[in-house]
Structure 1
């Protein structure tokens, strides 16, 4: 089937994770969801891409909570044979002095207008391999540093070789974060030549040529988010794949830093928001880091709003900028379709958590990866004040999110949130939906009334959940970091928390904004809520119309792929 995709040259988009479907466990969170939206937008726009990722047969994990609110991680396997077609081609990669065979699966993502994008899912679970090697593509972000490094060999080196074996003509390589940066080493070997002044056996690498082939998108200003490996591990696993002096000059003298390797071998480098690009330039001085702010795919729109847009703004699915005219839609129509989505969320919460939410009280939503810098506990900094606000102006809270299995602090935050829920239950209805996935995310971003985001500045690279909420007329109440610096028009698209300066004042700012601005506006006009609906329309017409994946992809084409 892949033969239909090799008739023209393509951009090879490499990502450790890609969210393809809710029941295909090849994603863990925002990076994979963004990758999925990227491929969907490429399909809608009929751009010539081919995506490469790992099959991750055993998935990430399925989340449950015990009685104490502790996260319990359960296996979440999937069968690629149920959704993808096996590829006939196989390649090898060098690992610990032996050849490890890499096969693959072809998943075809079909866009709104019938556009088709190939996704190659690499798989080492082959009879040719030893037992341990067969498991290298089983677990997404699993295992120790050696397991992760071997996975990145399979992704970067194996993925590049697989594309060639399948007959793809790649015009450029796009690395979505540094996990796939070893593809640059394969390209260096491919574009190596002998030089007279080198000793026998040594090679000279055409670094300028490789740079013209590569683009790199960095996603995190958090140091722990940049993969690094000791050279002892690198040499033990990868051997003499490339001479160590060259590797150290490109990836760091002391440790192989995948981000530095990608930076040094990419002609085009970008952050995922204007603020993030500024932070990245400070983190990596001397590199020209541009910015292309993330966007989300229109499929993050609830069925009710999608039908409403179809009726009033035909063509919006492929030209989301048409949503700029959403302010012309009648208030009653906006309110009705949102209430339908809210009722679906209320029912989901009742079924999953046994918590009864009130349909006419505002719901605050907070859902994302549970880790310290996201500060999921900021809203609960002063429980007495939170109770006092709720007694005067009732509201409800719905939470969701997974902590990485090895993130002990993130797991403790989940326990803490459950403890706060128990303490507040007689005043504020609160639910924590388990197993945050694509379906839960859509139910949340469309069903809540306010989307809350409280990261520690400046550690939010972009964030996209608030963009998804905007497609559903849900305004954000967020710290001025990531995309929200660009998206926030105070009182028009939502509201700012703090000033991204003194983080200790963020809780005070959050409470004041909630008590004095957000909740009064929600309840200030009775059932009509004309002022509130005006903000809902602002979120759609000024945020969803711009912060979408189609605008994002057009910029990648114009600024990166066509350079």
Structure 2
């Protein structure tokens, strides 16, 4: 039995689901009747991503926002009954964070797709100069209209474990693109759209170009066909931040998987005079449709990126949205009952006025229920000292939850420990923060250690500041539900979008933030803005805003006004269905 036959026999995990929307109904709702029948099980939207973060129901764990976005797109498509196929590597292991004397120590867990509900449908083969053939196992999970194709072999390793320009990283990207495309064709899938979630997935589109040319189509016609049906979603603000590869690496792993000489010659022309190439250069050349993930990011990308000839390129904008999985059921029910969102999760025409019908009691009830759910989760997690965590029901809770990288500036919260301690003690407040430094980031690992030591030396902070080990999807969900105020303070111009703050606003929390990423889509600011010319001025602004947030949270009138105002401003952006609408409009011209 071949891959195509096994693909037809896959178990649908949603076969008995009661809530199944009609995709044609969604198309009618967004005014795209013309797309009816364009996307089918055999001609789906195909989404390539190097990571997908949906651990709870898919068993796939990512590393950051890129994977969360991929997980959300798959979940939203699933809810809308949109034909979508996701292609991603299945990494053969994952690291698990633990602290020893406040120093990060990583454990390792081996992963096998069959143990996470994926069904093996067959194998495809890659070629390299070192090995004539590398067998890649193809595993699939089907959930309604969505298929998740994962590529696995034991040496694929961990996500982002190696350097961005290493042979191993290129190998992982070749597995995703070339083996992934082989899996699609073997399953009888002809992509209506190839959507590249970052440039690292460009080999899926290159494989399609090679396939079309190898079936007798002239190169120019084949390139035109691929370019018109390929989307490149960029999350990187500066090309210099990307990894680069040299011609020898491509000869080892890329050219061996291309059959058509014209395609190989075309790829070679994209190398610079230094004999190196950025994958974004290929992505820009092979995709006519490109987008950034927030208004600010799209504008900066259009300024910063150039094609191989040095010409400026235009990035359309599709601001990230979030799936309903991140929004508490009680809040979703409330938005539905108030007719602020429709059955597809889109804001209604009069959503802003409808939101005014939400009472303070309804908001407080949602937060009280969220605190209980959070504490239920955190009693099984560990703080920096290895203890379970419980936040009193009547305490104000600040939270900071994101990867620990320098531009996100978690250290700013701890610039003045006495000031922080005063805010927390004066307002009966606690701070939960979580996030992991990247493996090998010794500077950030040391910074986390030093901050935890400083917290331990301050009696007030030792009682009221809690670091949650091993940040994951479950911890993120807990803090979204149980917190009162979210802190989001990246350097302006360095966050592509971020979605954590969207989930916080939808959870009726006060947002304290710099004007960056998707937050900057709304002007003037409706959140508590952190600003300043210098780092010191921004830190002072942060502490002032944290105190202001406490005063708002304690006052019913102020809290209701601020919360409703934030939701009114951002609900159209938060909506994951809106994001899908925008991608459909980007991928298919509206004639």
Normalised-by-shorter TM-score class: 0.7 to 0.9
Query: What secondary structure is seen at the aligned counterpart in 2 of 1:135?
Result: helix
**Post-superposition offset of 1:236:** 2.9
Question: Matches of 1:483 and 1:52 in 2, distance apart?
Answer: 26
Using the TM superposition, give the Cα deviation of residue 165 of structure 1 relative to its aligned residue in structure 2, in angstroms. 0.9
User: What is the 5 A alignment of 1:283-302?
Assistant: 283-285=304-306, 286-302=312-328
- The SS at the match of 2:160 is coil
Match status 1:318 vs 2:352 = no
TM-score in terms of structure 2 length: 0.83
Q: Out of 3, 21, 44, which is 2:8 matched to?
A: 3
Secondary structure at the aligned position of 2:85 is classed as strand
Across the aligned residues of Structure 1 and Structure 2, the Cα RMSD in angstroms comes to 2.7
- Quote the offset at 1:206 in angstroms: 4.1
Spell out, residue by residue over 1:379-434, the C-alpha distance to the aligned partner (whole angstroms, 9 max, x if none). Answer: 11122322343444342110111222122223223213312321344256011111
1:129 corresponding residue in structure 2: none
Q: Secondary structure at the match of 1:155?
A: helix
Say if 2:561 is the partner of 1:540.
no
Report how far residue 541 of structure 1 moved. Answer: 3.4
| Residue aligning to 1:464 | 499
Q: What displacement does 1:281 show?
A: 1.3
Residue 441 (structure 1) shift: 0.8
Question: Deviations 1:144-163 (Å, cap 9, x if unpaired)?
Answer: 51111111111111111110
Contact 1:357 1:429 in 2 (8 A): no
Match of 2:477 in 1: 442
Aligned partner of 1:127 in structure 2 is none
The structure 2 residue matched to 1:19, chosen from 53, 63, 73, is 53
Q: Residues 74-153 of structure 1: matches in 2 within 5 Å?
A: 74-97=107-130, 98-109=132-143, 115-124=144-153, 134-136=154-156, 138-143=157-162, 145-153=166-174
Unpaired stretches in structure 2, ≥5 consecutive residues = 1-5, 11-39, 307-311
Q: Structure 1 residues 36 and 7, CA, compared in 2 at 3 Å: closer, same or farther?
A: closer
* Map 1:54-65 → 2, pairs under 5 A: 54-59=89-94, 61-65=95-99
Please point out which of 414, 434, 444 is paired with 1:410.
Answer: 444
Count, aligned residues: 532
Deviations 1:163-221 (CA, angstroms, capped at 9, x unpaired): 011100112210001111122332332243799xxxxxx98884333312311000121
Q: Residue 344 of structure 1 is aligned with which of 373, 376, 388?
A: 373
Q: For residue 215 of structure 1, what is the aligned residue in structure 2?
A: 231
Contact 1:274–1:293 (Cα < 8 Å) also in 2: yes
Instruction: Write the distance in 2 (CA, Å) between the matches of 1:320 and 1:496.
Output: 27
Once residues 215 and 184 of structure 2 are traced to their aligned partners in structure 1, the CA distance between those partners, rounded to angstroms, is 26
Give distance in 2, aligned partners of 1:7 and 1:454: 42
CA offsets 1:506-545 (integer angstroms, 9 cap, x no match): 2122122223x2222223x3xxx22112222233333234
Q: Cα distance, 1:313 vs. partner?
A: 4.2
C-alpha spacing 1:409/1:158, structure 2 compared with 1 (3 Å):
same
Q: Does the CA contact (< 8 Å) of 2:92 and 2:155 recur in 1?
A: no
Please list, as runs of the form range in 1=range in 2, the aligned pairs for 1:38-49 lying within 5 A after superposition.
38-49=73-84
Match of 1:506 in 2: 538
Distance in 1, Cα, partners of 2:238 & 2:109: 28
- C-alpha distance in 2 between matches for 1:319 and 1:174: 23
Q: Counterpart of 1:266?
A: 287
Q: Is the 8 A contact 1:90 1:165 kept in 2?
A: no
Is the Cα–Cα contact under 8 Å of residues 252 and 260 in structure 1 kept in the other structure?
Answer: no
Query: Does the 8 Å CA contact 1:83/1:107 hold for their aligned counterparts?
Result: no
Which of these residues, 63, 80, 87, is aligned with residue 28 of structure 1?
A: 63
Q: Work out whether residues 365 and 398 of structure 1, in 8 Å CA contact, stay in contact via their aligned partners in 2.
A: yes
Aligned pairs (5 A) from 1:146-545 = 146-192=167-213, 206-221=222-237, 223=239, 225-239=241-255, 241=258, 246-254=266-274, 255-285=276-306, 286-309=312-335, 311-313=337-339, 316=342, 318-322=344-348, 324=352, 325-349=354-378, 351=380, 352-353=382-383, 354=387, 355-427=389-461, 429-487=464-522, 490=525, 492=526, 494-498=527-531, 502-515=534-547, 517-523=548-554, 525=555, 529-545=556-572
Say which SS state the counterpart of residue 304 (structure 1) adopts. helix
| CA distance in structure 1 between the aligned counterparts of 2:215 and 2:476, rounded to whole angstroms | 53
CA deviation after TM superposition for structure 1 residue 258, in Å: 1.0
Q: Does 1:555 align with 2:582?
A: yes
The alpha-carbon distance between structure 1 residues 288 and 251, as it changes in their structure 2 partners (threshold 3 A), is farther
Shift of 1:348: 4.2
Moved more, 209-218 or 155-164: 209-218
Q: Is the 8 A contact 1:64 1:434 kept in 2?
A: yes
| Structure 1 portions without partners, runs of 5+ | 110-114, 125-133, 196-201
Q: Distance in 1 between matches of 2:69 and 2:142?
A: 17
Q: 1:562 Cα deviation (Å)?
A: 4.4
